[in-house]
Amino acid sequence: MRQKKNSSFTGLVFFVALIVAIIYVYSSKTFERDIPNITMKNNGYWNFKKPLAISIEDESGLQSYSISIKTKDDESVLEYEKFIIAKESMSIKLAAPKNAYAIKDKEIVISISANDASKWNFLNGNSIVKEYKLKIDRRRPQLNNVANSYKIKKGGAALVVFKARDDNMQDIYIETNFDKKFKVQPFYKDGYYISLLAWPITEKTFRATIVAKDFAGNISKTQVPLYLKDKAYRLSNIKLSDKFLNGKIAQLAEEFAETQGVTNSLEQFKIINEDIRAKNEELIHQITSKIDDEMISDFKIDKMYPLKNAAIVAYFGDHRKYSYDGEFISEAYHLGLDMASNAMAQIKPQNGGKVVYSDYNGLYGNMPIIHHGLGLYTLYGHCSSTNVNIGDETKEGEHISNTGKSGYAMGDHLHFGILIQGIEVRPAEWMDSTWIKLNINDIIKDAKDIIDRS
């Protein structure tokens, strides 16, 4: 009887021990069952220049890993390592094999295997093999100028047409020395592109470089060969009067949230001239930075003079420095052309386009903006009323609005602005039919002739 009890007790102890052992195996990190995690940052292309970034992680630690490259006819190990002390993670920069330039395959496979230090799977651990197919592309995009404007003037514009081709093209743009990237638009035939360029008046010099990148990371660059013509703009030292501060500025200060609670008239002026102006211009730049993606076969523009029989009352590029009692207060650039005619005169642009904005914009007052294509926009500020809405397609000579003194305007006039991809440029160029012919129309015609012959 006692032997039977002892046997039952032993069996119970064994059963409990077995349960404890099972629980331990299934809950212990030593016997974890998760396979190693392998990741490789890549978009499916490789030019053999930039190393591949590979990471391998495992909770119980890595025991070994191996990386090999598979071609159509061969497989070779690029890296292999076995650890005496398991590692939780590995970051690997996989360089191209020494015989990379002898590989003719257009597609290869990177095979990565890893084994962890877990005691699971009969002490053999967890293992994984992961494969990545990569397209091999070692050729840089084909890139060359076709035609461009001869020169660009500070504050002015230019046009460029170029060719860019690659089977795996990722991005094409024009970079500048002042961190502005001009977008380009497909032009005339496949593989050709066109873009207007702009030199901001605040930049001392100008350099534009066409950049073409493919998915494998190959890059081609070529500079747009433009002759640079400097231009001096007027510097105006303006003394602020109490009448102006207690009149127009006090009136504007009631309108903006940024000046609520500010009683000092000079502080009000500084906020209006700097903070609110920056906010208004940021909206303008955001709206006018867009360019269409579809191919165009031509770009026609007539000289611009939207206000009949108007006098010029303030010029583009005027650098205005404001002072009070001999002390500097603030500054700003006048980035448009002020034109005055009769009160509430009709504004009739010579070029049609799409209305992309028609609303009130702080210092600019009622302000329609029209896109004429190729990232070229015209802006009409201080209007008393507008006859167009966002999305409207305007025609040549259409009455879009009337002059006024809404916003930051002392008298009835039109603030006429022209922008190229968010950068204000000299209206004088676009009001000159000779300039348009030499820098726009002739360039497009020459580019088409060259493209047709190629």
CA 107 to chain CA mean position, Å: 31
Q: Name the pLDDT band for 21 (thresholds 50, 70, 90).
A: very low
Decide: helix, strand or coil at residue 434: helix
Q: Name the pLDDT band for 20 (thresholds 50, 70, 90).
A: very low
At residue 316, the pLDDT reads: 97
Q: Is the pLDDT assigned to residue 13 strictly greater than 70? A: no
At residue 27, the pLDDT reads: 46
At residue 34, the pLDDT reads: 86
Distance, in Å, from the CA atom of 285 to the CA atom of 130, rounded to the nearest integer, reads: 47
Q: Which amino acid type is present at position 355?
A: V
Q: 142-231 with 235-421: one CATH topology? A: no
Q: Which residue has the higher pLDDT, 290 or 33?
A: 290
Q: Name the pLDDT band for 10 (thresholds 50, 70, 90).
A: low
235-421 CATH pick, 2.60.40.3710, 1.10.3720.10, 2.60.40.1730, 2.70.70.10: 2.70.70.10
Q: Name the pLDDT band for 31 (thresholds 50, 70, 90).
A: low
Average pLDDT on 3-16 reads: 54
Distance, in Å, from the CA atom of 130 to the CA atom of 205, rounded to the nearest integer, reads: 52
Distance, in Å, from the CA atom of 362 to the CA atom of 256, rounded to the nearest integer, reads: 8
Share of the chain above pLDDT 70, in %: 93
Q: Which amino acid type is present at position 293?
A: D
Distance, in Å, from the CA atom of 386 to the CA atom of 344, rounded to the nearest integer, reads: 11
Backbone φ and ψ of 408, nearest 5°? -90, 70
**Residue showing tokens 């809950």:** 27
Instruction: Report the candidate in 316, 339, 406 with the shortest Cα–Cα distance to residue 368.
Output: 406
What ranges do the domains of the chain cover? 1-29, 32-136, 142-231, 235-421
Q: Is the pLDDT assigned to residue 332 strictly greater than 60? A: yes
Which CATH architecture does the domain made up of 142-231 adopt? Sandwich (2.60)
Q: Is the pLDDT assigned to residue 14 strictly greater than 60? A: no
- The dotted CATH code for 32-136 is 2.60.40.10
| pLDDT tens string 357-411 | 999 999 999 999 999 999 999 999 999 999 999 999 999 999 999 999 999 999 9
8 Å CB contact between 414 and 427 = no
130-134 — which CB contacts under 8 Å span 24+ positions? 130/38, 131/70, 132/40, 132/42, 133/44, 133/107, 133/108, 133/109, 134/42, 134/44, 134/45, 134/46, 134/107, 134/108, 134/109, 134/110
At residue 29, the pLDDT reads: 57
- pTM of the full structure: 0.88
- Dig out the tokens for 383 from the structure: 């209007």
